[in-house]
Structure 1
Amino acid sequence: MISLEDASLTKKGIVKLSSATDSDSEALAATPKAVHAVMDEVQTKAPLDSPALTGTPTAPTPETAAAGIEIATAAFVAAKVAQLVGSAPETLDTLKELADALGNDPNFATTVLNKLAGKQPLDDTLTALSGKSVDGLIEYVGLRETINHAADALLKSQNGGDIPEKPLFVQNIGALPASGTAVAANRLASRGALPALTGATRGSDSGLIMGEVYNNGYPTQYGNILRLTGTGDGEILIGWSGTNGAPAPAYIRSHRDTA
């Protein structure tokens, strides 16, 4: 009778079969059943190359400072987003909210730069003017005296109507003497009708005389006359045309005139 020994890795012999899928024996041979069971288990595993995982697979969560080839879990992503948002208010903690706040302008940086390009550069003068009142600005640019002079200026559109002391103004510009009858002429009382100067005749009264014109030899029937006696002995006649609102005729004559 031949005695057969068990086979091993170094000698021939009888090999026993086993359907166990968890054995680590080197003296047993796997049956097709065991192989089938192992293959069924293998089919439930994802391949190493581009695995398509299903369900809710888990993985170790890397530190938030990780920057290698670790798998980014949901917890890791949430931590990084929270770190990115930081202390931003709730109204600005999403990309949409940020986009809305920027006016949905894809060229926001260029827009801001263009607006800044149109601004006056900051310098010491502008800093000194910042926050000043109107009076402070006037003092800073030295316009106080100019404004004070402008406040006392006459308006061109008033044509002299805003002169407070018109007689004094006339005197100051040399239009009338500072003393004498000319200044008092506006206070003269009429002496009634005066005879007109004719030829080389002279008036009988002396000084500055205001008279009236009533059909007594003057070119106009009605009016007033100022007679200045002296060497020239002249007259200024302001007549009335006889029509309401019509231009008034004026005449000047000296006794030196012969006609």
Structure 2
Amino acid sequence: MKELRAGIRDSIDAMRMRGPLVHGATGSVTRALVADGLLAAGARPMLTESEQEAPVLVTIADALLVNLGSLGADGMAGMLPTARVAVSAGIPWVLDPTAIGLAPVRTRMAHELLALGPTAVRGNGSEVVTLAGGAGGGRGADSTLAPDAAAAAAREVAVRHGCVVAVSGAVDVITDGGRTTRVDSGSPTLTRVTGTGCLLGALTAAHLAAAPPFVATVAATALLTVASERVTHPGPGSFRVALLDALDAVTPAEVAQEVRLSWG
């Protein structure tokens, strides 16, 4: 665990030193938080998903987030071509399969994107079980499965597609199919602010530009969850603003020291 904590510290430090440009194809509802959160954490956002522009602009990015959030016509047309360009250019990318399961269009698209080989997948328990081919259920963007219940599915997806899978929840489970770690940090108020999951996907992309996939994914989760615990404002409105301040203020060493980790 000492080595993993050192990796978390170094990953966050390297991300901030590089200031990676993250191309985020993400939902319109959460774009503001994703952009502001990336800037606060030390990265730079570029958010577009149109078929005409996104596949071209991704070529200058350091990492890509493909989030199926509030999926519109532009996203449906642009996400697959953009991901294909990222793969061909060797750009690390994150698949965030928001609200898949019952929704037929986004569920099919999520499987098509997964087949392209994302560097990391970030989702809740229901979404990850659906990606593994099971009946994940879910209610919109909310999971009906705890992260531990989806751990086996996460390992299956990781092994089958050669990626890191992060299952978000009260305890986050992160696996590359061989190693599995749990992050037991984070404020409960994260679930009361729209877009914090999307932000975690973007932070994961930012860290992938600076560190190996497993450590990068753990570091992104550690950064967001530790920052959230530093917010003392009880209401979701003030929490959102204070979370951005905390992402800016917390140091890599503090994240590595304060995050609660366990193996297995």
Is TM more than 0.5 here? Answer: no
- Which structure has greater helix proportion? 2
TM-score of the aligned structures, taking structure 1 as reference length: 0.18
Q: Which has the higher contact order (CA 8 A, sep 6+)?
A: 2
TM-score w.r.t. the length of structure 2 is 0.18
